[in-house]
Amino acid sequence: MKDTNTPAANQGKFRNPDLTADGQPRARVPLNKPQTLWFNTGTLCNITCANCYIESSPSNDALVYLSVSEVSEYLNQLEHRAWGVREIGFTGGEPFMNPEMIGMARAVLERGYDVLILTNAMLPMMRPAMRDGIVALNAAFPGKLTLRVSLDHWDAAQHDAERGAGSFDKTLVGMDFLRDAGVPMAVAGRALWHESDAAARAGYGRLFQARSYAIAASDPGQCVLFPEMDLTAEVPEITTACWGILNKSPDSVMCASSRMVVKRKGAARPAVLACTLLPYDPQFELGETLAQAEGDVALNHPHCAKFCVLGGASCSA
């Protein structure tokens, strides 16, 4: 996959993990409060979106399917390392394309963790085996399973511009199933349309009310609006002085509270990454074990600034 560490708009920046382009000490983030361990179930997806940060598609298998046994091994490590994680997240690609998705979720729920699955709620999730599995898990572990549905905009035309004609209606069919089955839902949208946060949430609120979805559009944890990740835009580097200037804490950045497990095509074992947004940049691969992944992370990528520090976004619930 392509290396997007230094897009044209940021040439000269994000080169040195210790220093910014003008020689200032680069900000680093320690793993101070682990809350979420993510598993990327594989980059294969049933659709190709216009702006997918991980470049998922029906043909991208750069990250291959994880298995129940591999997930269970990292759960063992979690207990051994005593991270105190409360939530296990599954992302992709489309997680429900992985044939072991239900088994992986059950293995996690049986350990007492909350489970968050990111999905487009389309055909892979709607296959009978997956639907039956979701219903069974929700019944066996009430209140512990949440599906966050990718709904890029509350307007069908805007959503379909990202995900393809007809995708909005197909996603709503999946959300109707989750509603009727009593499965807790959240939504992830995109802040791409130059509308205010209030206007976007009002639009989602009208949709949720019309379809009786138990999602609070005003709650950023239930209706997550991700900032635009435009690699052509120039962004500032984050120095150690920025924390005071911005009145922010390193604890507010995702890599202070989460890590992601992936398995690369051809690899014998999975690896642990610092960030869910940077699966292909080698500097954010920390090792094969959670112990190796406990080190500080240098904020040495445009996404670190635009998405996390300045955008204030988080992939967790």
- Look at 144 and 227; give whichever has higher pLDDT: 144
- The answer on pLDDT for 192 being more than 90 is no
For the chain, list the domains and their CATH numbers: 8-309 (3.20.20.70)
- The answer on pLDDT for 145 being more than 50 is yes
Residue range 172-181, pLDDT digits in tens? 999 999 999 9
Among 138-152, 235-249, 278-292, the range scoring the smallest mean pLDDT is 235-249
Residue range 193-250, pLDDT digits in tens? 688 999 999 999 999 999 999 999 999 999 999 876 666 678 889 999 999 999 999 9
- The answer on pLDDT for 58 being more than 70 is yes
Residue range 66-98, pLDDT digits in tens? 999 999 999 999 999 999 999 999 999 999 999
Q: Note the Cα 219 to chain centre separation in Å.
A: 18
- The answer on pLDDT for 4 being more than 90 is no
Q: What pLDDT is attached to residue 314? A: 55
pLDDT classification of 9: cutoffs 50, 70, 90: low
Closest CA to 151 of 231, 110, 207, 202: 207
Residue range 246-277, pLDDT digits in tens? 999 999 899 999 999 999 999 999 999 999 98
Q: What pLDDT is attached to residue 190? A: 87
